Amino acid sequence: MSEIDHNSLRVLCLGEILLDYLADQPGQPLESVQSWTPYPGGAPANVACGLIKLGTPAGFIGAVGQDQAGEHLLSLLQQIGVNTEGVQQHPLAPTRKAYVVRSPMESENLLDLVRNSPMGLPMPISRVSSCLNPYLPRQNF
C-alpha cells in the first residue's frame, strides 16, 4: 500500500451557509424573544472551515444574498482560508437566517430551530442537538 500525500488532499463542500440567530432569552417562546445574537452557521460551511483549521485544503460551493450578512459570511470564509470561488451572491434572495430558541420542556442541549420560509414567515422544521457552529469563532455582527 502506498503512502498518502496529505498535502495533496482537497475537499469541496457543497451546501448551505447561513446565520443562526440564537435567542438572548433562553426558555422563551419565539413570539416572546426580545433580542437575538447572530452566529455563522451551515454544516457544509462549518466542515470546510474545520478542514482548513486541520490543515486540509477545502473549498465551499453555496449561495448568499447580496447583502451585509452575505458579505460578512463570505469574508469570514476567506479569512479562514476557504476557497470561495464557487460561492454565488444572489441579487434578490437574502442570506438565509435560522432563529434558534431553547425549548423550556427540553434539556439544554435540544433547540427548536425555526427558519424563514420563502414568504418570510417563521416555519418550524426540526429539533437538533446542536446547530451552533463548532469551527467558526463566535462573532457578533
**Residues 47-65: pLDDT tens digits?**
999 999 999 999 999 999 9
Within the chain, residue ranges assigned H as helices are 43-53, 68-80
pLDDT the model gives residue 103: 62
- Cell numbers describing residue 35: 433580542
- CA 73 to CA 49: how far, in whole Å? 12
- CA 111 to CA 119: how far, in whole Å? 23
- Cell numbers describing residue 100: 434558534
pTM of the model: 0.69
pLDDT the model gives residue 109: 37
pLDDT the model gives residue 10: 87
